[in-house]
Amino acid sequence: MKNVIIIGGGIIGLCSAYYLAKEGSKVTVIDKSDLLDGCSYGNAGMIVPSHIIPMAQPGVIHQGIKWMFNAKSPFYIKPALSLDLLSWLVQFYKNSNQNHVNKSMVPLRNLSFFSKELYQELAKSTNEFGYQEKGLLMLYNTEKVGEEEIKTGKIAEELGIEVDFLDQQEVKKLEKNIKVNALGAVHYKSDAHLSPNHFMSFLKSELNLMGVKMISNCSLLNFKVSNEKIEELITNKGNFKADGFVLATSSWSVEIAKKLGIKLYILPGKGYSFNVENLLVKPTIPSILCEGKVAVTPFNNAVRFGGTLEITNNNDTKINIKRLQGIVEKVNQFYPEIKVDLPEKKKVWHGFRPCTPTGLPIIEKSQKIKNLTIAAGHAMMGLSLAPASGKLVSELIMDKKPSIDLSEFRST
């Protein structure tokens, strides 16, 4: 039996704990928070095999620069004199090309479908987290964006992803109960969604049942290393020993990895979400409002609206009202019957997506520290890819052949 400590109790850390405990390991999760909120809770809950094109892609820099000058746009980079930011931007620039997209699409698709299979398995026993397979509508209301979405949809179709191309009338037929102002949509039929808050509760109760120890308000401060192995974790709650360690601390991993002499490129991409409850009319299928990159997810009693990606630092918890207005305006344009008001700041959730400059997550055994596995940098797909990432982490630690090829999911 292996004794494993996971640093970071977000969805990636908890899924890793789940599959390691299933393999019979003795697992402890430590997290500096109270394990009740954070990026893995307030996100849009979409499971997206449709997302085969990584964030680093041709044209993204040009579009990003245009958005930087629009206060309500979905994207912003907070200027800072930081070496981490500069080196991340250089890497991002290097990866934003067609060659990178071509070699990323199949590995991403495989990781996504593997993850969805695991979600289906998890939902079989007790679907208390509202897992539903209704697909995802990429709604657009301009010809230009429509063309881009259709082009992406055709590439996805070639890779075996189930796609429907809908015109205005077909969108209407699908979403009968609510008016949708869209020229058309690309319907990714194999996408799914769930309630992230409920999924995190489900994971924690399963981990409790399996005897996994979860220690909240426990910050990793440093490591004791000898012979290229971590001997002990030094935390504010004492020192911990184990055979294996998992680093699942999102963009905080950069500073933590530095203590081990490991260079990671991950920056926080701040995003917002808010729920509107008891709507008289609401969409039934999750959607992305493409012109504003706004995510709309219907849950039982509420609809969650989320968006914006502000590359910033982990201390920047400010809610930017202009960007929130951008979200609200797009929702009211696409779904005029909902009539969303600008939410009060205190009702707005924010989270930091861990963004790598490749747009691909890191799932690897460290090349420098023999008993360390890294699982971080899942950006806007952390929920979608969590079960697969957790399962792969457990396979790496148990020295099993990984279920899928991990060569594109490396830090270097």
Ligand X SMILES: Cc1cc2nc3c(=O)[nH]c(=O)nc-3n(C[C@H](O)[C@H](O)[C@H](O)COP(=O)(O)OP(=O)(O)OC[C@H]3O[C@@H](n4cnc5c(N)ncnc54)[C@H](O)[C@@H]3O)c2cc1C
Binding of residue 120 to ligand X (CB under 6 A): no
The residues with which 215 forms a beta bridge, in sequence order, are: 30
Which residue, 60 or 381, is less far from ligand X as judged by CB?
381
Q: What's the token pair of residue 209?
A: 């049942």
How far apart are alpha carbons 250 and 128 in whole angstroms?
26
Q: Per CB under 6 A, does 39 bind ligand X? A: yes
Distance, CA of 298 to CA of 288 (rounded, Å): 12
Around Cβ 11, how many Cβ atoms within 10 Å?
28
First-to-last C-alpha distance (Å) of the chain: 31
29 near ligand X (CB under 6 A): no
Among 31, 175, 291, 310, interactor with ligand X by CB under 6 A: 31
User: Residue 241 in 3-state DSSP?
Assistant: strand
The token pair at 195 is 């309630």
Q: Which is nearer to ligand X, 120 or 168 (CB)?
A: 120
Q: Is 192 in the site for ligand X (CB under 6 A)?
A: no
CA-CA distances (angstroms) from residue 245 to 5, 19, 277, 329, 399? 5, 14, 41, 45, 14
Q: Nearer Cβ to ligand X, position 156 or 256?
A: 256
380 part of the interface to ligand X, by CB under 6 A: yes
Give CA–CA dist 278/307, Å, rounded. 21
User: Shortest distance, CB of residue 382 to ligand X, whole angstroms?
Assistant: 2
| 108 binds ligand X, rule: CB under 6 A | no
| Residue 351 binds ligand X, judged by CB under 6 A | yes
What is the distance between the alpha carbons of residues 254 and 231, in angstroms, rounded to a whole number? 20
* Tokens encoding 206: 């399963």
Least distance in Å: CB of 200 to ligand X? 9
Among 38, 107, 283, 387, binds ligand X (CB under 6 A): 38
For residues 350 and 311, what is the distance between their CA atoms, to the nearest angstrom?
A: 13
| 180 in Cβ contact with 107 (< 8 Å) | no
What does 360-399 look like in DSSP terms, one character per residue? S-EEEE-SSSTTEEEEE--GGGHHHHHHHHHHHHHHHHTT
Q: Is 220 in the site for ligand X (CB under 6 A)?
A: yes
* Binding pattern for the stretch 122-161 against ligand X, x by CB under 6 A and - elsewhere: ----------------------------------------
Using the structure block, give the residue that is written with the tokens 């971080």: 376
Unique residue bearing structure tokens 């809770």: 41
Q: Which of 392, 25, 32 is nearest to 243 (CA)?
A: 25
Determine if 292 is a binding residue for ligand X (CB under 6 A).
no
Does residue number 252 form part of the binding site for ligand X (CB under 6 A)? Answer: yes
Q: Which is nearer to ligand X, 12 or 397 (CB)?
A: 12
**Contact pick of 5, 6, 13, 202 for ligand X (by CB under 6 A):** 13
Q: Should residue 343 be labelled a site residue for ligand X when binding is judged by CB under 6 A?
A: no
Q: Closer CB to ligand X, residue 7 or residue 336?
A: 7
Contact status: 45 vs ligand X (CB under 6 A): yes
Q: Are 327 and 320 in contact (CB under 8 A)?
A: no
Binding mask 302-331 for ligand X (x = CB under 6 A): ----x-------------------------
Interface with ligand X includes 271 (CB under 6 A)? yes
Which part of the chain contacts ligand X (CB under 6 A), choosing from 128-136, 257-265, 340-348, 349-357? 349-357
The amino acid at 143 = E
* Cβ 143 to ligand X shortest distance, Å: 27
Alpha-carbon distance 116 to 110, whole Å?
Answer: 10
Which one of 159-167, 224-232, 259-267, 374-382 is the stretch in contact with ligand X (CB under 6 A)?
Answer: 374-382
For the CB of residue 2, give the shortest distance to ligand X in the complex, in Å: 20
Q: Applying CB under 6 A, which residues contact ligand X?
A: 7-13, 30-33, 38-40, 43-46, 219-220, 248-250, 252, 256, 271-273, 295, 306, 351, 353-354, 376, 378-384
